[in-house]
Amino acid sequence: MRFALFRLAQITFAALLLSLTTAPARARAEGERAGDFDYYVLALSWSPTWCALEGDARNSPQCDAAADYGWVLHGLWPQFHRGWPSYCPTVEPHPSRRMSNEMVDIMGSSGLAWHQWKKHGTCTGLSASAYYELSREAYGQITRPAVFRKLERSVKLPASVVEEAFLKANPGFEPDMVTVTCKRDRIQEVRVCLSKNLTPVPCGRDVVRDCRMTDALFDPIR
């Protein structure tokens, strides 16, 4: 009897270990084959939130009042229907400093542009210049609601209000194509799911994780 219980415990433990080591593997994937993905996630970060949580402590030029940043491009991320690739091997040369500097107007910093290429752009199968160009194209085709630039003071609002504003400003989007994230009780990002041709598509389950806060802090542009 004791041996049978011990054997059962061994089998249970082995099954648990297998589930832990295999189930999330794709979500944490690194080194996938470049160009092997299903769709893109375009992430738009609200710059005042990033500045309040991280940028100010770094004395980032992105957070200077003269910079006037609102929704900046966090990145264009290749995505599987479940999980995502990252840091893919590529034969493409890395972007030059000049190329990354040219992304500052929509990304806030050349360092972010470089990081996005290294982590995500390498998985697209594109050259660095083509990835930056596609990122700019994707960013440019999303209408960012003007109402957020008109705020004069910090407000607390439901995260759903931000999503609704983007849906209204972009009539081709459906609710399952857009998601809003929060961080430390603040509106953080709006993420839009796009096909490889940059047409709106439904997001996968691991992307659609809407912030459910009803009183998320939203700071105005500096």
Q: What is the number of alpha carbons within 13 Å of residue 17 lying toward its C-beta?
A: 6
CA–CA separation, 99 and 7 (whole Å) = 60
> Model confidence over 6-60: pLDDT tens digits?
443 443 434 433 333 333 334 445 778 999 999 999 999 999 999 999 999 999 9
The percent of residues above 70 in pLDDT, for the chain, comes to: 87
Per-domain residue ranges of the chain: 28-218
CA–CA separation, 222 and 220 (whole Å) = 6
Whether the per-residue pLDDT at 219 is higher than 70: the answer is yes
- Confidence at 74, pLDDT banded by 50, 70, 90: very high
Residue appearing with tokens 């041709």: 197
| Domain covering 28-218 assigned CATH 3.90.730.10 in the classification | yes
CA–CA separation, 207 and 177 (whole Å) = 9
Question: What's the whole-model pTM score?
Answer: 0.84
Identify the pLDDT of residue 81: 92
> Model confidence over 60-73: pLDDT tens digits?
999 998 999 999 99
